[in-house]
Amino acid sequence: MLLDQAFARYEAGDRAAAKTAAQKLLSTSPRQGDALHLLAVIAQDEGLQAEAETLARKAVATAPANALYLNTLGNGLLAQGRSAEAVAVLAQAHAAAPDQADILFNLGNAQRQAGLFDDAMDSFRRVVVLRPGHIGAHNNMALILKSVGDPESAATVLIEAVAHAPRSGELRFNLGNALHAAGRLSAAEAAYRKAIELMPSHADAYVNLGVVLAEGGRKDKAEAAFRKAIALNPNLAPAYVGLADLVDDGSMDAVTHRRAVLALKPDLAAIRSSLLMCLHYVADVSRAELFAAHKEFGALHRNAAAPVFNSAHDFAPKRRLRIGIVSGDFRFHAMMFFALPVFEARDKKAWELFCYSTTAKIDPYTADFRTAADHWRDVRGLSTPDLAQLIVHDQIDILIDLSGHAPHNRLPMFAARPAPLQVAWGDYVDTRGLETIDMLLGDAVHTPANDDRYYTERVVRFAPDYICYRPPSYGPDVASPPCLTKGFVTFGTFSEVTKIGAASIALWAAVLKAVPTARFLLNGYHLKDEARQGRIISLFMDHGISTDRLTFRSGGLHAAFLAQYAEVDVILDTAPYSGGLTTCEALYMGVPVLTVPGDRFCGRHAAAHLINGGYAEGVAASVDDLVAQAKALASNTVALQALRKNLRAKFLDSKVCNVPAFAKAFYGTLRAEWVALCAKRKP
């Protein structure tokens, strides 16, 4: 029989012959379900997901309760990122064959991808009952526990799985991932080394081992691990990213290092994006050079192999619009304070929100973004063409890039234009460099009109400040300025270590020289690293500032971090990359901030937030002006005390914290742009 022949050829690995036999059978029996199903499976094997879906649906039409057909259709939908549809189909498959562990496992996978974590955990637990020691079920339970912020429990589940399969290198690898997420670096290193012992060619294990070693300060050994991964798999992008990130302080050395890595892999978008990020931290890289580097990215990645939006798209101007947000930062991040409140404030009758998450380190706060969205898509595993296809399928009207060139961005996908209107907004501090992104949302301070020539996008200044800020519910009370009890003024920074370079320290040293009794406090998680402290101390010493005037803190949980503003009287901004979220947090904690606006978007964060946040006096005209202002504040403790009492109230009552007004401007601008686009498309 032709069907038996088709199955035999497929089992033998000859897909072409299997396809020919199945198609021949269908030419005489077009409703032969098994033949249709086999062709669907072959199409899935070949990555032809749309064709596979069509064939699987035809097979299901011949036998709507056939669990195998439904299972294949559900898996195909999941492969396209359509997790909610996959859940519905795989639930039917499970109902048709409740004792089939593999189908139940696939259902659990779909539930996990759809964010139905409780349902997925229940499915995976039942898989383990049906098939004790099922490695995939244990693995996925651990992934869920890790994603909801419980990596310790994830490690426990994996340790139990290892007891069933002690020779499974994949389990050891995932155990390393869980232990790493739990902050247990030594245990994670041991798990990765065991995984490598069991699977010597596992390049990803070498990459993750390298990450752990780098975080532990063992960068030479980390480099060796990354290079071993590259030797095993020259196309493994994370290995090159890890190699590039070994130098992460924003210095010119970091730029040079990334260019060296790009020489190894010139077409790797992630490394080129990382280079673009680094360039912003270097003071002697000009605005024109930054723009040229971004345009180079756009030229290299303009021809992404993915579909454009459907030409039959509905261009009705007043209907409910589908807005898609692509981000790697749906987690505890600045966007939690800047973007999440805007998503929550939308008129749901006018806007249907899709979140496309590329977030690598999901945490408990990811759930807040998931709750805000009408549709959640975990797209970390989707290729550029598949992600574009999903966005086209979702019929997105306005697609917003929230990540720019930050880690885990999907900018090459935007080059395919999967949506009619594409927008740049959010965390990134510059042009994306892609001509397919139509507009960039800015403001008069960050993006003055004479800077338009540095953007490939059309700049739209839609609000006083391009972001708004909502403080956390757990914010501590404002404390009195510490100079009242210490007898000297403490200047400080709470910015991330990448912003603390030669330009910043030169500015701070000038202030410390002008106020000889003052001290300087540096606070941040990465400052627990003694090597980083040493680099900073050396830069201060180059300006004649002794170590006894410096204090280092290592942050902590966010509430504790905010409370530590009680230890500083005045925040001095960083340069050339200004403080964004930290400026808002300082004002919220009643601490004045002094800044000199820079020559680039990222150099004007503090200026914009101060001008619109109730303390425009903190914006200095020059370095000399900033030093004079710092000296004046240090000599007037009465003024410092008054500022401390009033700044929070002024800030909370300012334009920066007016979420409803910002949301009205944000969505009003998007609607106006959509209406204008619809008018242009009229015949």
3-state SS, 374-441, equals: CEEEECCCCCHHHHHHHHHHCCCCEEEECCCCCCCCCHHHHCCCCCCEEEECCCCCCCCCCCCCCEEE
- 396: closest CA among 298, 302, 456, 308? 308
CB 103 within 8 A of CB 135: no
- Taking the CB of residue 473, how many other CB atoms lie within 10 A of it? 6
E strand map for 462-595: 490-493, 519-523, 550-553, 570-572, 593-594
Q: Which fold has domain 321-461?
A: Rossmann fold (3.40.50)
pLDDT of residue 640: 95
pLDDT of residue 298: 94
- Indicate where the chain has its CATH 3.40.50.2000 domain(s): 483-657
* Largest Cα span, the chain: 96
HEC profile of 474-500: CCCCCCCCCHHHHCCCEEEECCCHHHC
Structure tokens at 432: 């994306």
Which residues make beta-bridge pairs with 324? 354, 399
- Mean pLDDT in consecutive groups of 10 residues from the start of the chain, 683 residues: 75 82 80 87 87 90 93 91 90 94 94 87 92 88 81 88 88 92 90 96 96 89 94 89 78 82 86 92 94 95 69 92 97 96 98 93 86 91 86 95 94 94 94 96 97 97 97 96 96 95 96 98 90 92 97 94 98 97 98 97 98 98 98 95 96 98 98 96 73
Gap between the Cα atoms of 154 and 159, Å rounded: 9
CB 203 within 8 A of CB 234: no
Tally of helices (H runs) and strands (E runs) in the chain? 32, 12
**Burial level of 551, CB count in 10 A (0-12/13-18/19+)?**
middle
Which residues make beta-bridge pairs with 327? 357
Measured in degrees and rounded to the nearest 5, phi and psi for residue 591 equal -105, 125
- 508: closest CA among 403, 417, 630? 630
CB 294 within 8 A of CB 429: no
Long-range contacts of 543-549 (CB under 8 A, 24+ apart): 543/505, 543/506, 543/509, 543/510, 543/513, 544/509, 544/513, 545/509, 545/512, 545/513, 545/520, 549/512, 549/518, 549/519, 549/520
pLDDT of residue 683: 61
CB 615 within 8 A of CB 587: yes
- Indicate where the chain has its CATH 3.40.50.11380 domain(s): 321-461
- Indicate where the chain has its CATH 1.25.40.10 domain(s): 24-132
CB 297 within 8 A of CB 431: no
pLDDT of residue 146: 79
Q: Strands of 458-461's sheet, edge to edge?
A: 375-378, 351-357, 321-327, 398-401, 421-424, 439-442, 458-461
CB 402 within 8 A of CB 425: yes
User: SS3 for 554?
Assistant: coil
Helix axes 269-279 and 252-264, enclosed angle (nearest 10): 160
Gap between the Cα atoms of 516 and 440, Å rounded: 44
pLDDT of residue 305: 52
Cis ω before 576 (30° cut-off from 0): yes
Cα 148 vs. chain centroid, distance in angstroms? Answer: 16
Q: Which fold has domain 483-657?
A: Rossmann fold (3.40.50)
Give the amino acid at 115. G
Judge: domain 24-132, CATH 1.25.40.10.
Answer: yes
CB 547 within 8 A of CB 518: no
Gap between the Cα atoms of 109 and 117, Å rounded: 10
* pTM > 0.85: yes or no: no
